[in-house]
Amino acid sequence: MHKLLRGIFLLVGLLFSTTLFAGEIVWQKDITAAFEKAQKENKVVMVMVGGEHCKWCEKMKHRTLSDDSVLERLEPYIMVKVMREDAEAVKYLPAINGVPTIFFLKADKKVLETVVGYYNIVDFAGFIDSVEKKVPLKK
């Protein structure tokens, strides 16, 4: 009986921890390396520009970008997160007119789509659809 209960607790703990950590993007922090990787792998780069005290950035990250359906759609992209205050990183990007701003860019830094502000899952999926009409992605 003791082994059975221990097994059940272990299984529940494993399932709970998988659920906790399943919905996270692994962000690259080096924007130049991300574009180099995109060039080699013929991929689209998604750059999220956040701000130091931006509550909408956190909301976007935790509500929209952690949704399983969005995560699945973003798998073929190279994901980069930079802060608006990081002058070195943002010099590679178009003008930033607020945060959060998400740029979908080709490896040559040509802008495919710009998303400014917070968007829910359904609306953000529409931006992904727009990108994929312009550049079909390899999964």
Residues of the chain by 3-state class (helix, strand, coil), percent to 5? 50, 15, 35
The domain locations on the chain are: 25-134
More confident residue, 24 or 36: 36
Contact status, residue 48 vs residue 124, Cβ threshold 8 Å: no
Can you give the pLDDT at residue 17?
A: 35
Q: What's the whole-number mean pLDDT along residues 11-29?
A: 58
Terminal CA-CA length for the chain: 46
Q: What is the pLDDT of residues 28-54, one digit of tens each?
A: 989 999 999 999 999 999 999 999 999
Q: What is the pLDDT of residues 56-101, one digit of tens each?
A: 999 999 999 999 999 999 999 999 999 999 999 999 899 999 999 9
More confident residue, 21 or 2: 2
Kindly tell me the number of DSSP H helices and DSSP E strands found in the chain.
6, 4
Res 21 pLDDT > 60: no
Q: Does domain 25-134 have CATH number 3.40.30.10?
A: yes
DSSP state of 49: E
Mean pLDDT of the chain, nearest integer? 86
Can you give the pLDDT at residue 12?
A: 43
Query: CB under 8 Å to 30, separation ≥6 — which residues?
Result: 80
Res 27 pLDDT > 70: yes
> For residues 79 and 128, what is the distance between their CA atoms, to the nearest angstrom?
13
Can you give the pLDDT at residue 112?
A: 97
Q: How confident is the model at residue 136 (pLDDT cuts 50, 70, 90)?
A: confident
Could you give the 3-state DSSP secondary structure of residue 75?
coil
Can you give the pLDDT at residue 22?
A: 52
Q: Diameter of the chain by CA atoms? A: 63
Q: How confident is the model at residue 137 (pLDDT cuts 50, 70, 90)?
A: confident
